[in-house]
Structure 1
């Protein structure tokens, strides 16, 4: 039997509408209407609440004391289920730079189990590395850095049941151009990260098919008026997406606003880069092979460098609105539709549109999460 969600406001694919009724039919979205089309239908009443698409985190390493690199199926499921409390209904489990052997094992494990997780849906793998540059290493382990290898990517694709969706590299590394062309032909989105590239090197990579700048401002050559660097490229090049971590630690709100104004809020992708300490108390944790201390809301290496985040995507949405740099509609778009578009999965998730899986969240007018639905079924309640 069909049911209808009643709410004050709906963030639909093409517009914000409401109050009204959104049909849920066989786990998928039906049509939105201002009046109830069927008087005898079941109504789920969210009077005064807002309905938004489930959030899509395309860059996340861990949650609830588990890391993707633990190579643990149960841990992968804990992350998946835990993400429902963050408003996330789809995600790309994200690896770290590591040995080829461990990366082989991890991608094989995810490829064999991604349809079995019970919470937020896995839409593919994001390989963050290992083809990076030392100068902007961040929390990536330099001993495993190397030049881009098409043979390695072929192997990872084979082992993962062809579930690699996105891979990041430093565009100045030898062989980057050929690697980017190959990956794009294989329908793998290429992102640029942990790089000291010049503006021209970044531009050449984009011309070859790279289309995302990873956690913009962090782990990349900065903007200088005589050498715009990676940051300048992220802001100025056409037809690319720019990720940003809006936790208040990685990027100043004013810098985030500048990026959004330059790039456009349709092409800015909010990500968490969350590590295993997300959803956990402050204290001592691991990120790959490095010890991390979580204190005052930030995760740092012993050197003091930021080591991912403990950000939840629902809080990034709330932050940018509270900072006055995005409307609620823009914030929700940057955390749902834009991430899905950036890795070409927007036909599957990230929007409320007829025929799409009914993955959505219920928010208060101050953007607090009330509930998370998967396939039209409530799976989390605050």
Structure 2
């Protein structure tokens, strides 16, 4: 069935267009046409005056949502429930994220995500394994008992994972560069795994070597990393100065001071900073607590914290992240939207079908009002609007 979405301003991922309409054919974008065009066989779908239709948001770091934690529910149904919870906040594609656990649990989660990715319109485009090859001293809330260096069996099992997804998704692995040898980094990259540095105290030089070996990006820049020092700048500065690497940013006003994020944006080439949520089960619910590793986590004043005050993920969604990028970092609307869609797609190497409004791309869309609140979403051409502005 063809649909012609009319009445909204369009943001293609490149430019803003007035007086145009978006033509969909099933799960695919067919064309962008003048608003006055008459398309035979297409049902006209009027959208609210003053609204903006943009590429759907892509989140590469989502631990949970809708009351579900992927570590506790490492199943296809769990992944799909998380995606459904985030859809009302404009996220049309995501990587369900499993944090450091025993490898069997993490592998089961990855295989479940591959099963979910095969379901059309489910919104799952891979899996993010955050650990277990992290620096114990920079683990945050990750469970120390499961943190270690990789062995041959680990590398064999991880290297086989991308085949489970095929072209449907990506495997993203966060590791500490000082915990993994360059040869092993190169092997994982050859297997098709996207590697990001994080939870690390790697030196500037060690991080640069890991980048040469194939490290592609950095997980929640500045968090779980040492601060930049004049003589030992470390992994954070290496991330900022690596022109070809992407960085994920949690823009909640809590995890990183906005001025530091603004500095990083100024230092980095445009297109290499992307928004992430690091969201947990409370997203999309009124819950004030949840459990992680058997420990109670509290939702207070925009923070998710343990009893000891350690941050445990973020209390933010992608629509909030876009608004915060504009408000806290003085990012223009178009760039904030790219940081939430086009740039994550490029990081994952999926920008041939996601992150833009263009012919041949998947019809993953978000409809926003003038305050960048979500009015509705389309995933693979199917509309699934929220119950209210988000």
Task: Check whether TM > 0.5.
Answer: yes
> Aligned partners of 1:185 and 1:260: how far apart in 2?
30
Residue among 175, 190, 193 paired with 1:169: 175
Question: How far did 1:118 drift?
Answer: 5.7
Q: CA deviation at 1:284?
A: 2.1
> Following TM superposition, by how much is the alpha carbon of 1:281 offset from its aligned partner in structure 2, in angstroms?
2.3
Structure 1 partner of 2:43: 42
Q: Which moved more, 1:191-200 or 1:282-291?
A: 282-291
Residue 233 of structure 1 corresponds to: 238
Q: Distance in 1 between matches of 2:152 and 2:93?
A: 28
Structure 2 partner of 1:83? 86
Structure-2 residue corresponding to 1:244: 249
- Cross-structure match for 2:27: 27
Aligned ranges for residues 112-261 of structure 1 at < 5 Å?
Answer: 112-116=115-119, 119=122, 121-156=123-158, 158=160, 162-163=164-165, 165-173=171-179, 175-261=180-266
Gaps of 5+ in 1: none
Deviation string, structure 1 residues 323-355 (Cα, Å, up to 9, x no partner): 252111000100111111111112232221111
Question: Which of 102, 106, 111 is matched with 1:108 structurally?
Answer: 111
Runs of 4+ in 1 over 3 A off after TM superposition: 116-119, 156-161
User: 1:312 maps to which residue?
Assistant: 317
TM-score scaled by length of structure 2: 0.92
- The answer to whether the 8 Å contact 2:80/2:116 transfers is no
Q: What is the alpha-carbon distance in structure 1 between the residues aligned to residue 164 and residue 16 of structure 2? A: 36
Could you tell me whether the CA contact under 8 Å between 1:216 and 1:242 is conserved in 2? yes
Q: Following the alignment from structure 2 to structure 1, what is the Cα–Cα distance between the partners of residues 375 and 244?
A: 35
What corresponds to 1:294 in structure 2? 299
Q: 1:117 to 1:63 in 2, by over 3 A?
A: farther
Q: Is residue 28–residue 375 contact of structure 1 (8 Å, CA) maintained in 2? A: yes
How much is the aligned-residue C-alpha RMSD, in angstroms?
1.9
Alpha-carbon contact 1:349-1:357 (below 8 Å) kept: yes
Map 1:5-20; keep pairs closer than 5 Å.
Answer: 5-20=5-20
Shift of 1:289: 4.2
Tell me, yes or no, if the aligned pair for 1:108 and 1:161 is still in contact at 8 Å.
no
**Residues 164-188 of structure 1 deviation map (CA, whole Å, 9 limit, x = unaligned):** 5211111112x42112101111121
Counterpart of 2:60? 58
1:196 is displaced (CA, Å) by 0.6
- 1:153 Cα deviation (Å)? 3.7
Single out whichever of 310-319 and 278-287 deviates more from structure 2.
Answer: 278-287
Q: State the distance in 2 between where 1:161 and 1:207 align.
A: 24
5 Å-filtered alignment, 1:362-377, equals: 362-377=367-382
Report the Cα offset of residue 117 of structure 1. Answer: 7.5
Number of residue pairs matched by the alignment:
380
